[in-house]
A and B are shown apart, each in its own frame.
Chain A
Amino acid sequence: MTSRRTLADREDVLGGVMLAPALAYVVLLVGVPFFLAIALSFSNATAGSLSFQWTGLGNYAAILGDPIFLRALQNSVVVTVATQVLVIILATAAAQVFRATFRGKRFARFVLLLPWAVPVSLAAIAWTWIFDSTFSVINWSLKATGLLHGWLYWLGDPALALLAIIIVQAWRIFPFATVIVLAGLSSIPQEIIEAAIVDGAGFWRRLFQIELPLLLPVVAVAVLFGVVYTATDLGVVYILTGGGPANTTHVLPTLAFQRGILGADLGQGAAIAVFLLPFLIVVAVAMLRLARRAEVGGAAR
Chain B
Amino acid sequence: MAGIEIRNLRKQFGDLPAVDGVDLSIRDGEFLVLLGSSGSGKTTLLRMIAGLERPTAGEIHIGGERVDGDVPPRARGIAMVFQSYALYPHRTVFQNIAFPLEASRTPRNRIEEKVRWAADMFGITRYLDRYPRQLSGGERQRVALCRALVRDPKVFLLDEPLANLDAKLRNTARDDLKQFQRQIQTTTVYVTHDQVEAMGLGDRIVVMEHGKVRQVGTPQEVYEDPVDTFVATFVGQPPMNLLAPRDASLPPGTLVGFRPEHLLPRSVFGAGEELATFRFAVRRVEYLGSDRYVYGAVAESAAPEATVIAKLPGTIPLTIPEGETHEFAVPRRLLRYFDADTGLRRRP
Residue A82 at the chain B interface, CB threshold 8 Å: no
- Known contacts: A198-B74, A199-B100, A205-B103. The answer to whether A210 contacts B82 by CB under 8 A is no
Would B103 and A195 count as touching, CB distance under 8 A?
no
Would A194 and B82 count as touching, CB distance under 8 A?
yes
Q: Which residues of B contact A200 (CB under 8 A)?
A: 73-74, 100, 103-104, 151
Query: A-facing mask of B69-89, CB < 8 A → 1, else 0?
Result: 000111000111011101111
Q: Which residues of B contact A191 (CB under 8 A)?
A: 82-84, 86
Would B86 and A297 count as touching, CB distance under 8 A?
no
CA–CA, A201 to B99, complex, Å?
Answer: 8
Partner of A195, one of B51, B78, B82, B90: B82
Query: B-facing mask of A155-195, CB < 8 A → 1, else 0?
Result: 00000000000000000000000000000000001011011
Residue A33 at the chain B interface, CB threshold 8 Å: no
Would A198 and B104 count as touching, CB distance under 8 A?
no
Q: How many A residues have CB within 8 A of the partner chain?
A: 22
Residue B346 at the chain A interface, CB threshold 8 Å: no
Would A195 and B131 count as touching, CB distance under 8 A?
no
Minimum CB distance partner of B133 in chain A: A297
Query: A-facing mask of B29-47, CB < 8 A → 1, else 0?
Result: 0000000000000000000
- Known contacts: A194-B82, A198-B50, A201-B99. The answer to whether A214 contacts B90 by CB under 8 A is yes
Give, as a whole number of angstroms, the nearest-CB distance from A299 to chain B: 6
Partner of A194, one of B86, B100, B102: B86
Residue A119 at the chain B interface, CB threshold 8 Å: no
Would A199 and B52 count as touching, CB distance under 8 A?
no
Residue A294 at the chain B interface, CB threshold 8 Å: yes
Would A194 and B52 count as touching, CB distance under 8 A?
yes
Query: A-facing mask of B116-142, CB < 8 A → 1, else 0?
Result: 000000000000000101100000000
Would A198 and B131 count as touching, CB distance under 8 A?
no
CA–CA, A191 to B144, complex, Å?
Answer: 12
Would A299 and B82 count as touching, CB distance under 8 A?
no
Residue B10 at the chain A interface, CB threshold 8 Å: no
Residue B147 at the chain A interface, CB threshold 8 Å: yes
- Known contacts: A194-B82, A195-B82, A198-B50. The answer to whether A297 contacts B90 by CB under 8 A is yes
Residue A39 at the chain B interface, CB threshold 8 Å: no
Partner of B90, one of A189, A205, A213: A213
Give, as a whole number of angstroms, the nearest-CB distance from B189 to chain A: 13
Give, as a whole number of angstroms, the nearest-CB distance from B249 to chain A: 56
CA–CA, A199 to B100, complex, Å?
Answer: 5
Q: Which residues of B contact A216 (CB under 8 A)?
A: 90
Would B73 and A195 count as touching, CB distance under 8 A?
no
Residue A298 at the chain B interface, CB threshold 8 Å: yes
Give, as a whole number of angstroms, the nearest-CB distance from B162 to chain A: 16
Residue A197 at the chain B interface, CB threshold 8 Å: yes
- Known contacts: A191-B83, A297-B131. The answer to whether A198 contacts B89 by CB under 8 A is no
Would B88 and A210 count as touching, CB distance under 8 A?
yes
Would A299 and B86 count as touching, CB distance under 8 A?
no
CA–CA, A209 to B91, complex, Å?
Answer: 9
Q: Which residues of B contact A298 (CB under 8 A)?
A: 131
- Known contacts: A201-B99, A205-B103. The answer to whether A195 contacts B89 by CB under 8 A is no
CA–CA, A244 to B307, complex, Å?
Answer: 91
Minimum CB distance partner of A193 in chain B: B86
Would A198 and B84 count as touching, CB distance under 8 A?
no
Query: B-facing mask of A188-227, CB < 8 A → 1, else 0?
Result: 0101101111111110010001100110100000000000
CA–CA, A48 to B87, complex, Å?
Answer: 65
Would B133 and A195 count as touching, CB distance under 8 A?
no
Give, as a whole number of angstroms, the nearest-CB distance from B342 to chain A: 39
In the complex, chain B residues 151-178 whose Cβ is within 8 Å of any chain A Cβ: 151
Q: Which residues of B contact A196 (CB under 8 A)?
A: 88, 99
Q: Which residues of A contact B151 (CB under 8 A)?
A: 199-200
Q: Which residues of B contact A198 (CB under 8 A)?
A: 50-52, 73-74, 78-80
CA–CA, A206 to B52, complex, Å?
Answer: 15
Q: Which residues of A contact B87 (CB under 8 A)?
A: 192, 195
Q: Which residues of B contact A194 (CB under 8 A)?
A: 52, 80, 82, 86
Q: Which residues of B contact A213 (CB under 8 A)?
A: 90
Would A195 and B134 count as touching, CB distance under 8 A?
no
CA–CA, A202 to B52, complex, Å?
Answer: 14
Minimum CB distance partner of A212 in chain B: B90
Starting from the known contacts A198-B78, A199-B99, A205-B103, 20 additional A-B residue pairs (CB-CB under 8 Å) come to A189-B86, A191-B84, A194-B52, A195-B86, A195-B87, A196-B88, A197-B72, A197-B73, A198-B51, A198-B52, A198-B79, A199-B74, A199-B79, A201-B74, A202-B103, A209-B102, A210-B88, A216-B90, A297-B89, A297-B90
26 contacts between A and B (CB under 8 A): A191-B83, A192-B87, A194-B80, A194-B82, A194-B86, A195-B82, A195-B86, A195-B87, A197-B73, A198-B50, A198-B51, A198-B52, A198-B73, A198-B74, A198-B78, A198-B79, A198-B80, A199-B100, A199-B103, A199-B151, A200-B73, A200-B104, A200-B151, A210-B88, A214-B89, A297-B89
Q: Please list the 3 inter-chain residue pairs (A to B) with the smallest Cβ-Cβ separation, ordered nearest first.
A: A200-B74, A195-B86, A200-B103
